Structure 1
Amino acid sequence: MPKGKRKGKTGAALKPRMEVIGATSDEDSLNDNVSVISGFSESKSVMEEGSDEVDEQTQEEVFEEKLREAIDSLSQKSAQGRTSAFDLVAKAFVKKCIPDFVTDRRLTLTDCIERSLKKGRGLEQAVAAQLAPLLCVQLGAGEHAEEACRELGPAMLLVAHDASASLQARAKCCWAVGLCSFLSGGEVADTVGVMRSLETVFRGSYLKGDGTAPLVSPEVAALHASALSAWSLLLTLVAPGDIYVLMSGHANTVFSPQLSQLSELLDSAHLEVRLAAGETLALVYELGRAHHQDFSQDSTPLLAEKLRQLATDSHKYRAKKDRKQQRSSFRDILHYVEDGDPPDIQVRFGQEMLALDSWCRKKQYDAFCQVLGSGMNLHLTENDLVREVFELGDRLTPLNLAAHKQSKLERHLMNAAAFKARTISRSKNRDKRSAVMSV
């Protein structure tokens, strides 16, 4: 090999070492007993020890800085820029639980959301409505979340009933006002008032006077399904005794919708409306039966027959995916209405488990999942408000992956032990096979 190439390669290999030595203190550089290799490895080990902590702190600072910039962009002049900023803030609120950071900026966020709901159009109103419940969830259990919910509720209801607004924005506002009202912890009269307002939206899917289903577009059906889903979420806050009186026809006051009207929604041509109606009926029966087992016994056989038809639907004019989802959902609803079998779902997160053993609990969990998405497990672990809703108690430990991360030595020992056990097991099996072959 030519000497020139060999010399250049050696010089390149020594360059990092020389830089490390130059970075040491004068006392170390005067120590003749420290070799180049040992000095390099010693410096490297010191850097590795604090690298995880430094990286985590740096990532946190970068995250907060980008979030500050996104919040500042919520008030810019460009509608497209505001829309993008709302989307970025919403994604950040899903990714991390930062109640202290959000509390310091709650007034700015509330003002920006309210301004976009009132003066914005289309997609901007939709993303602003999407951020509203996320803001309340981030603020956690306390007066700040309740205050934000009460301030944003009227603006969202105004958009929900605005015929000139886009259907997407109206649907987002219906769902957001339902969850914000659920989180606000207001008076029962206020909750019932919001429910009545939502009912005026989805009543457009009731059967017409001649008993036929109305013709509505998929966008309008999505709006009706969103309003009905928000209505059913607020239904979980009503006392079982009140549901028994109001929904069984024993009350002199007019409460809408009744069971017969909710059953009409099962005849809708749109899957979203049918699923929301079936889920609402299961909630009504669960709450009514919690007060007395004879709740609506006269209408149960007719309703069960309609649920059975939906649970076994095989019409080819429906999409295959829609048929599968409908049959799966309505089988569970039918089992509860007929036999009283509640849901039995277990959600594991970290070292804890959440049991969804009732339709009310399942509805509340699905509502938070719709808002938090992939961040649901994180907020179940860290968010005090979410833990309070699901009665999980105080947090066990803060979610700190760096603290729970195993060292290299621990991982090596565990892998070695697993390899040894696997080797012994395989050796025994080989001995048995050998004995069988010899016979």
Structure 2
Amino acid sequence: MPNNRRRKGKSDREARTNGSVQTSDDDSFNDNASVTSNISEVRSTDDGNDEMDEVNQQEAFEEKLSEAIDGFTQKSAQGRCNCFELTSKALVKKYMPGYIVDRRVTICDAVEKSLKRGRGAEQTAAARLATLLCVQLGALDECEEVCKMLKPILLQTVNDKSILPSTRSECCIALSLMAFLAGGEMGDVLHLMQQFESIFAGSYLKGDGTVANVTAEIGLLHSAALSAWTLLCTLMTAGDINSMMGSGVNFSPSISQLSEMLQSPHLEVRMSAGEALATVFEIGSEFSEEFGDDYKPDLIEALHHLATDSHKYRAKKDRKQQRASFRDVLRYIENRTVPDVQIKFGQECLVLDTWARRKHYDALCNVLGSGFNLHLAKNELLRDIFQLGQKILISDISINRQSKLERHLVNAAAFKARTISRGKNRDKRSDF
């Protein structure tokens, strides 16, 4: 006869051995357990895990950055260049002055050696890293120390005509931002401005009034030097600008020389010259409303020609960019109006209502790129430059944050008002 008795399986043996007893769902629920306390325990555990994850991510990030800094001493030039670029990306991505300040001497030594002995891409990457190093340490006293260490070699590289123009351009940017962030003596700033002027003077008109023959690479160098000069110009007082450039004193560059650069065949030089003229007129007009009146008629004519340029021998993109830029410059020279530009980041808004502030924004954004908003929210020196006040804490942001329903209602109301406004001006052709 077949055996109908069920064999004892492995699960039965384990249950008997471990002493576990199968219970129903009702029996397994503990009536005495507090639901609220259970939820709070789960949440506290999740918060702790998130904090641990952040700590682990930060440690992993710093470990990779330390490996990149250690790679500055390797023999391969390409390897050193890669390490410079990795370090620069890390300094753009995170604001970490406490970590960098302990390694500033190591980074400065590597930058100095690469600028002296390196070539091409390595020198360019080293100069860019020097700029980001000062951005990280801008709020600390060590920033001035770094500037004193790197300024001589950067100046030497800028004036060395045997070095690539792209590398010299990066060194111009580094020198100007170092002087701007470190806030050194005004005599040193004027000396730097003279060095930059000796570079972009190559784009002045010749003695016979013809345009200088400058290659595209040298044109980019002249544009970078003029842009660096304009940034340092914002550190000068209105009285100094008026006495040196508005009273006929033999000071270079003069307003007429800057106006000559508007005839350059290179778009970057023309736009940098227009930006420099607007900044100079803005600062000088703070001292006297009659600043530069003798130059205005010819300057307005040249700016109007550039703002309405439609020559087909220029690229369509260049014409569009040029017209947009010089319309703003012309509007300021004629009417003293500056376009109100607002930059929103997080819960804050940065207003660029002067040419000086626009220049500060462009110079820093050119270096930080996608990490500018992060540094603007956390970097104390940048917040001080743009007068943003104290840093906003995360708790303050969570309190002021709108709910999803509130945002939906606001957007719906705005959509309805826009639809009604457009509907009033629609199908008017039937009336005619």
With structure 1 as the length reference, what TM-score do the two structures score? 0.81
Measured at CA, do residues 343 and 45 of structure 1 come closer, stay the same or move farther in structure 2, by a change above 3 Å?
closer
Measured at CA, do residues 284 and 321 of structure 1 come closer, stay the same or move farther in structure 2, by a change above 3 Å?
same
Cα pair 1:243 1:288 within 8 Å, conserved: yes
State the Cα deviation string for residues 73-128 of structure 1 (Å, max 9, x = none). Answer: 11211110010000000000000100101111111111111111111111111011
| Residue of structure 2 aligned with 1:58, choices 53, 56, 59 | 56
Q: Specify the alignment match of 1:3 in structure 2.
A: none
Partner SS for 1:230: helix
Q: Specify the alignment match of 2:306 in structure 1.
A: 310
Q: CA deviation at 1:333?
A: 0.2
Cα pair 1:171 1:226 within 8 Å, conserved: yes
Cα pair 2:138 2:182 within 8 Å, conserved: no
Cα pair 2:101 2:142 within 8 Å, conserved: yes
Cα pair 1:205 1:268 within 8 Å, conserved: yes
Q: Specify the alignment match of 2:257 in structure 1.
A: 261
Measured at CA, do residues 306 and 102 of structure 1 come closer, stay the same or move farther in structure 2, by a change above 3 Å?
same
Partner SS for 1:353: strand
Q: Specify the alignment match of 1:340 in structure 2.
A: 336
| Residue of structure 2 aligned with 1:86, choices 84, 87, 100 | 84
Measured at CA, do residues 400 and 378 of structure 1 come closer, stay the same or move farther in structure 2, by a change above 3 Å?
farther
Matched AA of 2:359? K
Q: Specify the alignment match of 1:204 in structure 2.
A: 202
State the Cα deviation string for residues 159-203 of structure 1 (Å, max 9, x = none). Answer: 111011111111111111111111121111100000001111111
Task: Give the length in aligned residue pairs.
Answer: 388
Cα pair 2:176 2:231 within 8 Å, conserved: yes
Instruction: Tell me, yes or no, if structure 1 residue 365 matches structure 2 residue 361.
Output: yes
Partner SS for 2:343: strand
Q: Specify the alignment match of 2:148 in structure 1.
A: 150
Measured at CA, do residues 211 and 292 of structure 1 come closer, stay the same or move farther in structure 2, by a change above 3 Å?
same
State the Cα deviation string for residues 132-184 of structure 1 (Å, max 9, x = none). Answer: 11101111312111111222111111111101111111111111111111112
Q: Which structure 1 residue ranges, 4+ long, deviate > 3 Å from structure 2? A: 28-35, 41-51, 398-401, 414-419
d(CA) in 2 for partners of 1:146 and 1:398?
Answer: 31
Cα RMSD, aligned residues only: 3.2
Q: Specify the alignment match of 1:189 in structure 2.
A: 187
Measured at CA, do residues 67 and 304 of structure 1 come closer, stay the same or move farther in structure 2, by a change above 3 Å?
same
Q: Specify the alignment match of 1:221 in structure 2.
A: 219
Q: Specify the alignment match of 1:388 in structure 2.
A: 384
Q: Specify the alignment match of 1:113 in structure 2.
A: 111
Measured at CA, do residues 269 and 53 of structure 1 come closer, stay the same or move farther in structure 2, by a change above 3 Å?
same
Matched AA of 2:365? C
Measured at CA, do residues 282 and 44 of structure 1 come closer, stay the same or move farther in structure 2, by a change above 3 Å?
same
Question: 318-327 or 52-61, which moves further after superposition?
Answer: 52-61
Measured at CA, do residues 193 and 46 of structure 1 come closer, stay the same or move farther in structure 2, by a change above 3 Å?
closer
Matched AA of 2:197? E
| Residue of structure 2 aligned with 1:285, choices 281, 284, 292 | 281
**Residue identity (%):** 49
State the Cα deviation string for residues 306-343 of structure 1 (Å, max 9, x = none). Answer: 00000000000000000000000000000000111023
Question: 165-174 or 140-149, which moves further after superposition?
Answer: 140-149
Which consecutive unaligned segments of at least 5 residues does structure 2 have?
Answer: 1-10, 31-37, 417-432
d(CA) in 2 for partners of 1:211 and 1:269?
Answer: 14
Partner SS for 1:315: coil
Measured at CA, do residues 356 and 38 of structure 1 come closer, stay the same or move farther in structure 2, by a change above 3 Å?
farther
Cα pair 1:283 1:359 within 8 Å, conserved: yes
Measured at CA, do residues 394 and 34 of structure 1 come closer, stay the same or move farther in structure 2, by a change above 3 Å?
farther
Q: CA deviation at 1:415?
A: 6.5
Partner SS for 2:342: strand
Cα pair 2:138 2:181 within 8 Å, conserved: no
d(CA) in 2 for partners of 1:418 and 1:311?
Answer: 42
Instruction: Tell me, yes or no, if structure 1 residue 174 matches structure 2 residue 172.
Output: yes
Instruction: Tell me, yes or no, if structure 1 residue 128 matches structure 2 residue 126.
Output: yes
State the Cα deviation string for residues 36-82 of structure 1 (Å, max 9, x = none). Answer: x999x999988645432232222111111110101111121111001
d(CA) in 2 for partners of 1:268 and 1:381?
Answer: 39
d(CA) in 1 for partners of 2:407 and 2:159?
Answer: 65
Partner SS for 2:344: strand
Q: CA deviation at 1:287?
A: 0.8
